Structure 1
Amino acid sequence: MKKVVVLGAGFSRAISERMPLMVDLRDQFESRLHLRDTVFEPFGDDVEAWLAYLASDQPWLSDSENQGNRALFSKAIDVLYDVIIKAQEHADQTQPSWLDRMSWQWSHENVTVLTFNYDTLLESAFTRVGWAHTASAFYAAPLTERHPIGSSGFLSEAPPRRRVPTVLKLHGSVNWWHGGSNAPLTEQMVYNPRPHARTRSEFLFADLQPFLVPPTSIKNSYYGRSGLVTQWRLAAQALRAADQVDIIGYSFPASDLPTRTFLSSTIRPDARLRVIDPFPRDGAAKSAMPGREVGLVHASAQVFAEKHAGTRVSAWYSQQDDGQYLLQIEENGALRTSLIPNTPQPDEELRRRLVDDYGPQEYTSTGGRGPSHAWSSTVEVFLPSDDECE
């Protein structure tokens, strides 16, 4: 079965409440760009519509006015980048366990992910599965790299150990950089492996800016860039081939007509469609998908993962003050322990113990936990579920 997962901003917000929704950015734009508090009124207080207006030349404005809008748009992208990066740095420190389980499940199913999110929280979770060690392994995008003079670009990462999920980022990413709105449409985007708040001042990226595209109509100049065109075309191919499509954290706003049209026109009529949203707008998903059966799941991403992702098991030994050992097994965050009177067996014995408890396992790896002075070697197991549409 070919499965596609579509992610909106609600998915990142479910990972961390620090991750912003577009509506949350209004105050940031007003304060950091010194805007009048009435600037959004002509756009119905819609921040996305305001960004779209700035990004495209308007025929009723003079050249200098359009250039001023483009300059303001570039500054707004800087603000957007900084807000996302700072929120992501916090979110990376407190990753929820359900995200790891979902990442393992999607890796097992070899899904294609279409995401409108700029952050790289999902890519980080996929790297923790361990089949690939950099976010770039999951991208099907024409990206290039930059290296300091004197360093070698020949020592690249080893290829993934298994076939990994594909992540198509339809609105760009904080770790994709480009030469700005005046760059050629065929320009290759630059992959930045470690984006952070100070990246703009680093010499390797000083002439570039983050490739973050506001959701807007296809007439926006960013949508003509070859890198983004590649993402959308591959996304359309994936949706046309998909037997099952899960849409998580996207609320089908009426103002986002291009995305609604894209989904309704490319998802196969016979594909099983599931929309996961704890607060769905009345009829929004069904009106966006006319003539098709839509399975509405009134649940958060976490609740959905608890039910549809597989089981994550971690097992390790810890020594007590009296010299005895505890066998500790954590299953989906729930810990159970048993006393071991003798010196524990090595990791291979732990593996056999987990086989006895959980049956044969396809996905087993070693890991570790705890502070450096009391580090414990672990055996990690993932038992995928047979996820089916309801």
Structure 2
Amino acid sequence: MKVFLLGAGASKSYGGSPTGQRMPIAHDFFQTFDRLDISANPWVLQEGLLGYLLEKGVPDPGEHLRSGLDIEALHSEIEAARDEAMRTGDPMAWYYSYRAYNELVFLFASVINEIQNGPVSEPHRGIARLLGPDDAVLTFNWDTLMDRALATETSWRVDWGYGVTPHGIFGDGWRLAGDRPSGSQSPSLIKLHGSTNWLTAYPTPDESGRIVLTHELDPGTLHVFETATEPYACYAGRHMPGYEPFAYGYYPPNLLDVPGRAAGEGRVFVRTRMQVPWKPEGTAPRDGLVSMPLIIPPVRHKTYGMFGGLFADLWREAEDRLAAADTIVVIGYSFPRTDLQSNDLFLRALMRRSSMPRVIILDPAPERVAEKFRLDFGISGDRLTVIRDYFSERFDLAALLRP
């Protein structure tokens, strides 16, 4: 059994975007955003983020964001400010940080959707062709490059392929997930930090000050976007056309037939939207519960628990796969020092084993990752193959996997 572990370097391999851009990294996110058409779209919200920085005393927020700022550090700072404002009961401080936090989630998803909105990724199709029905891909990436490649090259489907059954799947309208056909076998795709095409409801504080979701379903409920060829109901009717499967414009479809959370005794929900002349009104429907991408942002303290048992189940499945794999292929993942969970995942999985797997590392700067596998995870040199190279469609993955 093979397990592929994909990090940011795997996403960087996609060079087929009509935008001419590749997936950003932490230090060039806003520079990449500026090179996309959406940066000039008034429906793409930045006011909350800029307002947060102004309140913080940053004189030129736009220049600050484009100064090589680490977007992961910024998002962590905003999350901490939001939670502190909730504890102290400062409504204006909470509003600025809450809005900035949500806008960053949408901006992450929007930049990724714009870049992946092109032909199916050839490097990811190369991975898909090498996968058998018992194999798995684990990824910390939010993009849907691997999802689309699997759907093209194998019998993998969103209905069953993520290791969790979606509550609803959007394909020009919401539908229930179908059962896997009898005898159908396909690899698994386990997305450990969520996905741009996974949807949930907005977060909101409850009476006790906890952040909860605005729907009344189990917090681990997953909705999945697959495709849209016609306008759909979304926030303020702001549907954007022209997207390939597994990608959408800034606003994903609203959740239909999903109960909203009650405001609580003595409370009401109030929703307002300022209409301004420079922001044209949307013409698509607006019914349903407003949705947002279900991703774990790149913050220091990742709030997996806000989504119930969803991520606990996915990480448990990932551990089982790693514990049973004969071959583990690591592509473009650097084991960031802030991602303590990934380190623990490998330690737990490898401690369960009675035999040592073959580990292959493909990375342009593999030294630190190779050292981690040798010193921290106990993989001996004869079981470790280190390839100093970039992952691309020209790389011969099949040769890499030969004994």
Aligning the two structures, in what range does the TM-score lie when normalised by the shorter sequence? 0.5 to 0.7
- In the other structure, the counterpart of 1:131 is 155
Q: Are 1:22 and 2:20 counterparts?
A: no
CA contact (8 A) 1:55 1:220 kept: no
Highest CA radius of gyration, 1 or 2?
1
Distance 1:146 1:283, change over 3 A: closer
Q: Are 1:79 and 2:107 counterparts?
A: yes
- In the other structure, the counterpart of 2:249 is 197
Distance (whole Å) between structure 2 residues aligned to residue 72 and residue 279 of structure 1 = 34
Distance (whole Å) between structure 2 residues aligned to residue 278 and residue 205 of structure 1 = 46
Runs of 5+ consecutive residues of structure 2 not aligned to the other structure: 16-20, 40-45, 54-60, 204-211, 228-246, 255-285
TM superposition shift of 1:80: 1.0
Superposed CA offset, 1:81-140 (max 9, x none): 1111110103xx2633x433321111x3631111011111111111222424x4334211
CA RMSD of aligned residues (A): 3.5
Where relative contact order (Cα < 8 A, 6+ residues apart) is larger, the structure is 2
Aligned partner letter, 1:276 = L
TM superposition shift of 1:39: 6.7
Among candidates 386, 389, 402, match of residue 296 of structure 1: 386
TM superposition shift of 1:192: 1.5
CA contact (8 A) 1:102 1:305 kept: no
Among candidates 209, 216, 221, match of residue 188 of structure 1: 221
Aligned partner letter, 1:197 = G
TM superposition shift of 1:259: 2.1
Distance (whole Å) between structure 2 residues aligned to residue 158 and residue 235 of structure 1 = 21
Distance (whole Å) between structure 1 residues aligned to residue 302 and residue 170 of structure 2 = 34
- In the other structure, the counterpart of 1:319 is none
CA contact (8 A) 2:139 2:190 kept: yes
Distance (whole Å) between structure 2 residues aligned to residue 301 and residue 216 of structure 1 = 26
TM superposition shift of 1:306: 1.3
Instruction: State the SS of the aligned residue for 2:294.
Output: strand
Instruction: State the SS of the aligned residue for 1:258.
Output: helix
Aligned partner letter, 1:20 = P
Distance 1:130 1:200, change over 3 A: closer
Distance (whole Å) between structure 2 residues aligned to residue 79 and residue 154 of structure 1 = 28
Distance 1:198 1:214, change over 3 A: closer
- In the other structure, the counterpart of 1:366 is none
Distance (whole Å) between structure 2 residues aligned to residue 122 and residue 6 of structure 1 = 11
- In the other structure, the counterpart of 1:104 is 129
- In the other structure, the counterpart of 2:96 is 68
CA contact (8 A) 1:10 1:249 kept: yes
TM superposition shift of 1:250: 0.7
Distance (whole Å) between structure 1 residues aligned to residue 363 and residue 288 of structure 2 = 38
Aligned residue pairs, count: 303
- In the other structure, the counterpart of 2:271 is none
Distance 1:217 1:160, change over 3 A: farther
Distance (whole Å) between structure 1 residues aligned to residue 288 and residue 23 of structure 2 = 24
Distance 1:218 1:232, change over 3 A: farther
TM-score by length of 2: 0.64
Instruction: State the SS of the aligned residue for 2:317.
Output: helix
Distance 1:95 1:235, change over 3 A: closer
Aligned partner letter, 1:99 = H
Distance (whole Å) between structure 2 residues aligned to residue 102 and residue 177 of structure 1 = 26
- In the other structure, the counterpart of 2:230 is none
Instruction: State the SS of the aligned residue for 2:159.
Output: helix
- In the other structure, the counterpart of 1:327 is none
- In the other structure, the counterpart of 2:313 is 230
Distance 1:28 1:243, change over 3 A: same
- In the other structure, the counterpart of 2:184 is 162
Distance (whole Å) between structure 1 residues aligned to residue 329 and residue 130 of structure 2 = 13
TM-score by length of 1: 0.66
Superposed CA offset, 1:287-318 (max 9, x none): 36523334321122237841426xxxxxxxxx
- In the other structure, the counterpart of 2:324 is 241
Distance (whole Å) between structure 2 residues aligned to residue 231 and residue 80 of structure 1 = 22
Distance (whole Å) between structure 1 residues aligned to residue 177 and residue 344 of structure 2 = 43
Distance (whole Å) between structure 1 residues aligned to residue 371 and residue 185 of structure 2 = 34
Instruction: State the SS of the aligned residue for 1:308.
Output: helix
Instruction: State the SS of the aligned residue for 2:396.
Output: helix
What are the within-5 Å matches in structure 2 for residues 308-387 of structure 1? 308=398, 387=401
Instruction: State the SS of the aligned residue for 2:27.
Output: helix
Instruction: State the SS of the aligned residue for 1:175.
Output: strand
CA contact (8 A) 1:251 1:285 kept: no
Among candidates 136, 139, 144, match of residue 167 of structure 2: 144
**The 10-residue stretch of structure 1 (6-15 or 292-301) with the greater mean CA deviation from structure 2:** 292-301
- In the other structure, the counterpart of 1:336 is none
TM superposition shift of 1:156: 4.6
TM superposition shift of 1:20: 2.4
Superposed CA offset, 1:36-59 (max 9, x none): 244799xx9432132233335544
Aligned partner letter, 1:180 = Y
Distance 1:76 1:154, change over 3 A: closer
